[in-house]
Chain A
Amino acid sequence: MTSGLLDGPFGDAVLTEPAGVPRGRAMLERAEWAARAFARYDAATVDRILSAAAAAGAAHADEFARRAVEETGFGVAEHKRLKNLACSTGLLEAYAGHDFVSVRVDHEAKIVEIPRPAGVVLALTPSTNPVATVYFKILLALMTRNAVVVCPHPLARSVCADAARIMAEAAVAAGAPDGCVQWVDEPSVPLLNALMSDERTDVVVATGGVQVVRAAYRSGNPAIGVGPGNVPVLVDATADLAAAARRIVDSKSFDNSVLCTNESVLVVEEACADTLVTALRRAGAHLLTEDERDRVRDLLFPGGVFDTSCVGRDAVTLAGRAGVRVPAGTRVLLAPFDLVVPEEPLAREKLCPVLGLVRVPTVRSGIDTARAVLRISGAGHSAAVHSTDPATILAFGAAVRVLRVSVNTGASLGGSGLETNLAPTMTIGTGFFGRSSVGENLEPRHLVNHTRLAWNADPGVGMPDVAAATGSAWAPPTGPVPAYPHASNTAEAADVLRAAVAGAAAAPREPVTAESADLREEVRRMVVAELRRIVEG
Chain B
Amino acid sequence: MTDSTGAAGAGEQVSAAAEQLGFSSKADVLAKSQEFWNPGKTRFWMGTGVDLVIDRREGYYLYDMSGRRLIDVHLNGGTYNLGHRNPEVVRAVTAAMGHFDIGNHHFPSMARTALAEALVRSAPPGLTKVVYGSGGGEAIDIALKTARHVTKKRKIVSIIKAYHGHTGLAVATGDERFSELFLADRPEEFPHVPFNDLAAMEEALRGRDVAAVIMETIPATYGFPLPEPGYLEAVKALCEQYDALYIADEVQTGLMRTGELWGITKHGIAPDILVTGKGISGGMYPIAAVLLSERCAGWLTEDGFGHISTFGGAELGCIAALKALEICSRPETRSMVHYISDAVGRGLRDIQDTYPDWFVGIRQNGVVMGLEFDHPQGATYVMRRLYEGGVWAIFSTLDPRVLQYKPGILLSADQCEELLMRTATAIGRARDDAARDGWRGGSPARRTTAVPAAAAVPPAASGVSADADGAFVTTRNGRRVPVRTTVPVRKAVTR
A and B associate in one complex: yes
**Which A residues form the contact surface with B (CB < 8 A)?**
1, 3, 5, 7-11, 14-15, 17, 22-23, 26-27, 29-30, 32-34, 36-37, 178-179, 182, 481-491, 525, 528-529, 532, 535-537
Interface string of B48-90 (1 = CB under 8 A from A): 0000000010110100000100000000000000010111101
Say if the beta carbon of B307 comes within 8 Å of chain A.
no
B273 at the interface (CB under 8 A from A): no
Contact with A along B329-364 (1 / 0, CB 8 A): 010110111111111010001101100100000111
Residue of A nearest to B446 (CB): A536
Candidates A26, A37, A488, A490; contact of B362 at CB < 8 Å: A488
User: Is B352 a contact partner of A32 (Cβ separation < 8 A)?
Assistant: no
Q: Are A8 and B90 in contact (CB under 8 A)?
A: yes
The CA of A1 and the CA of B56, in the complex, are separated in Å by: 10
Bound CA span A537–B229, Å:
13
Q: Find out whether the CB atom of B335 lies under 8 angstroms from the CB atom of A11.
A: no
Give the distance in Å from the alpha carbon of A68 to the alpha carbon of B481 in the complex.
64
Residues of A within 8 A of B85 (CB): 8
A529 to B359, CA, bound (A): 12
| A3, B16: Cα distance in complex, Å | 9
CA–CA, A29 and B82, complex, Å: 14
* Number of residues of chain B lying within 8 A (CB) of chain A: 59
Task: Establish whether residues A483 and B338, one from each chain, have CB atoms under 8 Å apart when the complex forms.
Answer: yes
A-B contact pairs, 13 of them (CB 8 A): A9-B58, A10-B87, A10-B88, A29-B332, A37-B339, A179-B332, A483-B338, A485-B258, A485-B367, A487-B365, A489-B226, A489-B477, A529-B353
Does B228 make an interface contact (CB < 8 A)? yes
**Chain B residues, Cβ within 8 Å of A482:** 335, 338-339, 341-343
In the bound complex, do residue B365 and residue A11 qualify as a contact, i.e. CB atoms below 8 Å apart? no
Chain B residues with Cβ below 8 Å from A8 are 58-59, 85, 87, 90
Chain B residues with CB below 8 A from A5, complex form: 90, 94
Q: Which residues of A contact B90 (CB under 8 A)?
A: 5, 8, 14
Cα–Cα, bound, A439→B345 (Å): 45
Q: Which of B229, B332, B367 contacts A490 (CB 8 A)?
A: B229
Please, which residues of chain A bring their CB within 8 A of the CB of B366? 485
Q: B410 on the interface (CB 8 Å rule)?
A: yes
List residues of chain B with CB within 8 A of the CB of A529.
349, 352-353
Determine whether the beta carbon of A14 is less than 8 Å from that of B338. Answer: no
The contact of B335 among A3, A23, A179, A489, by CB within 8 Å, is: A179
Knowing A9-B59, A26-B330, the reply to whether A485 touches B229 (Cβ < 8 A) is no
- Asked if A484 and B338 sit within 8 Å, CB to CB, the answer is yes
What's the minimum C-beta distance from B354 to chain A, rounded to whole angstroms? Answer: 9
Residue of B17, B336, B356, B479 with most chain A CB atoms under a 10 A cut-off: B336
Inter-chain CA distance A490–B353, complex, in Å, is: 20
Known: A14-B90, A489-B477. A23 touches B332 (CB 8 A): yes
A241 to B95, CA, bound (A): 69
What are the residues of chain B within 8 A of A182 when measuring CB–CB?
A: 332
- CB neighbours (8 Å) of B258 from chain A are 485, 487
Q: How far is the CA of A488 from the CA of B338 in the complex (A)?
A: 13
Indicate which residue in A3, A9, A178, A537 contacts B83 across the interface (CB closer than 8 Å).
A9
Complexed CA–CA distance, A178 and B332 (Å):
10
Residue pair A525, B353 in contact (C-beta under 8 Å)? yes
Determine the distance from Cα of A22 to Cα of B83 in the docked complex, in whole angstroms: 14
Instruction: Give which listed residue, B95, B327, B478, contacts A15 with CB less than 8 A.
Output: B95
B87 / chain A contacts, CB cutoff of 8 Å = 8-11, 14, 17
In angstroms, Cα B89 to Cα A5, docked, is 12
B310 within 8 A of A: no
Besides the contacts A33-B336, A532-B446, what 18 more A-B pairs have beta carbons closer than 8 Å? Answer: A5-B94, A14-B91, A15-B95, A27-B332, A33-B339, A178-B335, A178-B339, A487-B229, A487-B364, A487-B365, A528-B353, A528-B356, A529-B352, A529-B353, A532-B356, A532-B444, A536-B446, A537-B476
Known A8-B85, A535-B445; judge A33-B413 contact (CB<8 A): yes
Interface hits, B409-424 → A, CB 8 Å: 410, 412-413
Query: Is B271's beta carbon under 8 Å from chain A?
Result: no
Give B61's nearest chain A residue, CB to CB: A9
Return the 5 tightest CB-CB contacts between A and B, nearest first.
A9-B59, A485-B259, A26-B332, A482-B342, A33-B339
CB pair A488–B226 under 8 Å, yes or no, is yes
Bound-state Cα–Cα, A390 to B330, Å: 60
With most chain A CB atoms within 10 A of its CB, the pick from B15, B90, B339, B349 is B339
A265 to B86, CA, bound (A): 55
Nearest B-chain residue to A179, judged by Cβ: B335
Does B266 touch A at the CB level, under 8 Å? yes
Among B56, B228, B337, B353, contact of A3 (Cβ-Cβ < 8 Å) = B56
Does A7 contact B446, Cβ atoms closer than 8 Å?
A: no
Question: For residue B257, which residue of chain A has the nearest CB?
Answer: A485
Could you tell me which residues of chain B, from 203 to 255, have a CB within 8 Å of some CB in chain A? Answer: 226-229
Q: B478 touches which one: A7, A23, A481, A489 (CB < 8 A)? A: A489
Instruction: Give the complex CA separation of A26 and B356 in angstroms.
Output: 37
Tell me which residues across on chain A come within 8 A of B56, comparing CB atoms: 1, 3
Q: How far is the CA of A3 from the CA of B67 in the complex (A)?
A: 12
Would you call A485 and B337 a contact (CB within 8 A)? yes
Which residue of B88, B333, B341, B446 is within 8 Å of A485 (Cβ)? B341
Inter-subunit contact A3/B226 (CB<8 Å): no
Kindly report which residue of chain A lies nearest to residue B94, judged by CB atoms. A15
The smallest C-beta distance from A531 to any residue of chain B, in angstroms, reads 10
- In the complex, what residue of chain A is closest to B365 when comparing beta carbons? A487
**Taking the nearest CB of chain B, how far is it from the CB of A148, in angstroms?**
15
B-side contacts of A489, CB under 8 Å: 226, 228-229, 363, 476-479
Q: A487–B226 contact, CB under 8 A?
A: yes
Give the CA-CA distance A3 to B13 in the complex, in Å.
Answer: 15
Q: Which residue of B lies closest to A488 (CB)?
A: B364
- Residues of the B chain whose Cβ atoms lie less than 8 Å from the Cβ of A491: 229
Contact with A along B77-111 (1 / 0, CB 8 A): 00000010111101100110000000000000000
Instruction: Please tell me if the beta carbons of A3 and B477 are within 8 angstroms of each other in the complex.
Output: no
**Nearest CB of chain B from residue A480's CB, rounded to whole Å:** 9
Residues of B within 8 A of A36 (CB): 413
Chain A hits for B337, CB < 8 A: 485
| A179 CA / B94 CA spacing, docked (Å) | 32
A488 touches B363 (CB 8 A): yes
Are B477 and A488 touching (Cβ within 8 A)? yes
Known: A8-B59, A17-B91. A536 touches B476 (CB 8 A): yes
Closest residue of chain A to B448 (Cβ to Cβ) is: A536
Q: Provide the bound-state CA to CA distance between A328 and B67, in Å.
A: 78
Contact among A11, A15, A23, A32 for B330, CB-based, below 8 A: A23
Q: B60's closest neighbor in chain A, by CB?
A: A9
B365 touches A485 (CB 8 A): yes
Q: Give the distance to chain B from A90, nearest Cβ to Cβ, in Å.
A: 31
A residues within 8 A CB of B477?
Answer: 488-489, 536
- Contact digits for B265-283, partner A, Cβ 8 Å, 1 yes 0 no: 0100000000000000000
Q: A1 — which chain B residues lie within 8 A by C-beta?
A: 15, 56, 67
B341 CB, min distance to chain A CBs, angstroms? 4
Which of A3, A9, A178 is the one whose CB lies under 8 Å from B338?
A178
What's the Cα separation between A532 and B332 when bound, in Å?
A: 35
Nearest A residue to B352, CB-CB: A529
Complex partner residue of B345 from A30, A488, A532, CB under 8 angstroms: A488
* Inter-chain contacts of B335 with A (CB < 8 A): 30, 33, 178-179, 482
Chain A positions within 8 Å of B343 at CB level = 482
When distances are taken between beta carbons in the complex, the residues of chain B under 8 Å from A484 are 259, 338
Q: Determine how close the nearest CB of chain B comes to the CB of A7; give it in whole angstroms.
A: 7
Segment 351-394 of B: residues with Cβ below 8 Å from A: 352-353, 356, 362-367
CA distance A537 to B476 in the complex (A): 7
Chain A min CB distance to B125 (Å): 21
